[in-house]
Structure 1
Amino acid sequence: MSVMINHKVNLVEGTFTPQESLDIINALIKEKINFHKLHRLSIAEGNLYEDTSYDDDRVAQLNEERQSYREFYKEIKQSGKKLRIKGTLEIEVLD
């Protein structure tokens, strides 16, 4: 099955200091966590028994990713090196 990419959004691209990269990654993860929290709230509103497990799992995964990046950041910060970040979203239309 071939997938056709219909649109791309170049979200982040550049060379950054370790602190700048930490700020960027934290901001992106924070926004995704907020999205899932709001989504969870909206689907559970009026129905406390609605299944919110997907959003719950994504929030947990994103928090793990944030912690993992912090550990990576500590190693890179000590090295004095810069980082290149490339973040392109690929959007495809599904049937």
Structure 2
Amino acid sequence: MENVTEIKLVKGEFTPDEAKEVLFSLVMSKIRFHQLEVFSNGERNIGDIDYSEKRITELENSKIVIDSKINEAISKMKRIRLNGTIEIEILE
């Protein structure tokens, strides 16, 4: 597709601590974004906050999964490979 651009946001091998920092930074940034949306839309009584509230819950659950995988790598004294691609699509 011509209107889709892919960007490798995260790529490489990391220690468990490095991987946790990278992943938690991304997840926490998205959580803060949705928290701001909930607050902003709630204060102005506009928009639907259900989507943002649902995403916050999903992202919080993602943190639990990430933490579990990080702890597994630590217990096995292993490194972690992260591959994260973002697709940017221009919509009609």
Distance of 1:12 and 1:93 partners within structure 2: 22
- Pairwise mapping of residues 36-75 of structure 1 onto structure 2 (< 5 A)? 36-47=34-45, 50-75=47-72
Query: Out of 3, 6, 9, which is 1:8 matched to?
Result: 6
Q: Percent identity?
A: 32
| RMSD of aligned Cα (Å) | 1.6
19-28 vs 35-44, greater mean Cα deviation: 35-44
1:5–1:75: structure 2 CA closer, same or farther, 3 Å change rule?
Answer: farther
Distance of 1:82 and 1:92 partners within structure 2: 33
Query: What's the TM-score once normalised by structure 1's chain length?
Result: 0.86
Once superposed, which parts of structure 1, at least 4 consecutive aligned residues long, lie more than 2 Å away?
3-6
Distance of 2:23 and 2:90 partners within structure 1: 27
Counterpart of 2:29 in structure 1 is 31
Query: What's the TM-score once normalised by structure 2's chain length?
Result: 0.88
Query: Out of 76, 79, 88, which is 2:76 matched to?
Result: 79
Counterpart of 1:17 in structure 2 is 15
Q: How many residues align?
A: 92
Offset of residue 45 of structure 1: 2.2
Which segments of 5 or more consecutive residues in structure 2 lack a partner in the other structure?
A: none
Offset of residue 4 of structure 1: 4.8
Which segments of 5 or more consecutive residues in structure 1 lack a partner in the other structure?
A: none
